[in-house]
Structure 1
Amino acid sequence: MSDPMIDVRGLTRSYGDHAVLRGVDLSVRRGEIFALLGPNGAGKTTAVNVLTTLVRPDAGTVTIAGHDVVRQAARVREVIALTGQYASVDEFQTGEENLAMMATLAHLPRSTVKARTAALLDRFDLTDAARRRVETYSGGMRRRVDLAISLVANPQVLILDEPTTGLDPQSRSELWDVVRELAADGITVLLTTQYLEEADRLADTIAVLDGGRVVARGTASELKALVPGQHVRVDVEDSHALASVQKIGLEISGIDEKDLAATIPTTEPLRTVRDVLARADEQGIPVTGVSVVKPSLDDVFLALTGSRTARTAGPRRSTPTTPSAPTQPAASPATTKAGLR
């Protein structure tokens, strides 16, 4: 097995008496998309600052492409690129000028600057807008220019710090496609995000950071398997029916007054569905739909950290019931240090 592209062992960092990172361990493979999830104050930004050599760790070791971030900081900076939360581009220059300027600053041979700029403009679908000032670009186009700039020097590792902040859903989806293509080309991507759907749909591996510690890691499916049970969602016709559902004799874990739906926790989804339909029929409650809702990353995050993230990029997915009983999730190989609270 090849050495990890990013290897973090026992990373500790404090500011005064406040411990921000407390023994963080991470391992990211070449060509992997690795998401670091966590609430505000969990230590994500400090971790990124250490990885990019902007902050020195108090203890532990961090290597990127085999280079130590403290003893070989210059070599680390040669193989990484960082894109922050907001596009860092010169709005008064054109997209083409931004890329050419960064190519020059990266000391690319003058003979290659024009070709490299043209190739990146084409890759990010910016050729038609290449000679327009960036100030005329949409938010999604600015973000693509910013990402293109990060790739000017052909980095081995791309660190994206909440890259889709402020983007509309379409621009966010387009950026996800670009990130997948970069990983397919062998670039290692470390992504910090508060968008749960982003981590779910994009990342090969997810680590949850809370209180400066990695409390769980694994694939999205593995993490979801840490949360026991499922839920049955009951959609009704009106607010009167919603009030009646709360009195049918089953435990209700949530009420959505806007969408006229109630949620019932269960370990036996099929049996619960049958009970709901039978009791609703007996009491004349107009039910418009019943579905089984599997644990989401939002549920995982709540279980691990005691709070939900500030941002969820999309609604929870539900699985319509079928005549056959849904299967329970298999035991998960996901690792967790703190366990579920």
Structure 2
Amino acid sequence: MELTNVNRDKALQNLNKAYERVTSDQYTLCSKFIDEIKQVMFGTHLTFKYVMVNALLAKATNPEVNALCLQKKSVLPGAYDARTLCHKVLVPFERDKLNGALGGSNEPFLNKPARFPELSTNNAVRKGKDFALLSLLCTFLPQIVTQQEAFDALCDAIYFALEISKEKEEIFGLEATKIPTYYEIQEVIDALLVESFGGETLALTVGALMNLLADSIEGKTCVEVHVVNQSGASSKEVSDIDVYLNDKILYAIEAKDKVFTQEDVTHAIRKAALAGCDRLMFVSGPRAYLEGASEEIIVSKALEMGVYLSFMNHKEFTKMILSLILPTTTERFFSYLRNIVYEARLKEETLRHLLKEAREHYLIKDDYNED
């Protein structure tokens, strides 16, 4: 089947035209699908944001496009190369004009939800919010028929993206109002971990603790917290959190807040060994445990591969790190949390949860938290 062509130059012109329209003084939301677009843009699934905006862009550029298509292998009429359009046009535009408001991903169509030939409620996604968003996309995207309808919807999507960007800019201007005690840090971490958000709060808190510990190490240190639940095909990460000393991998940490198996651990061990990392830790969150396997046996197998493996729950890990850090580093706790949200491109709901707990524990002061 011959693919439906979507001219990239024309698509970029449409993006710029939509951006100019949205940033004008008189702009008002204009699509018939305002509620649906807003629900996806402020939803919990980053990949679906790219999928929706990319579909609207394609349809606004060529009305013959089938907005449900995700891959050029789709056999649906109107199939097009959605992946290339997204990675070559939408992603650079998002980086330049939208401050990463869709998620800041370099290659979002490598993520599993975008690897199917087309959007369908038969696609494998997690139940609950993810499936609800998938169903929403499958329902309203086919109802957009004309170029003008698609362009109006694209404009509204960009409007919401700019709102998200503005919110992020305001948030990252916040500073901590006090230096927390060790026990207060422990309380904030426990409160954050009440919610998981796909494991993001565990990666966030472990990453912040490792930054505090790295401040206590002499030499050039770097703590990298990687995007949770997204493809690592274009990156060089070893684990969820990688710690470097003088540009050499020091140790790696897997942060798990769901049930995991021996295969999961073995895969992480292999990655560590290949990267020349000889220490790997599995930190488990409130919802995690190792299923159907013995930690002792896995540890022995890891040693055979030259990797020192250890397992620890989040409470033990938190207490250990807080017992080792320098006292002066605690003042940086909130700034590390805030920066990880940005650098690791965590979800907006994770950021809002962080701010809620930071306010309730008096780490920050703003309009919602006055003495």
Please classify the TM superposition score into its range, dividing by the shorter chain length.
under 0.3
Normalising by structure 2, what TM-score? 0.25
Is the helix fraction higher in 1 or 2? 2
TM-score between both structures, scaled by the size of structure 1: 0.26
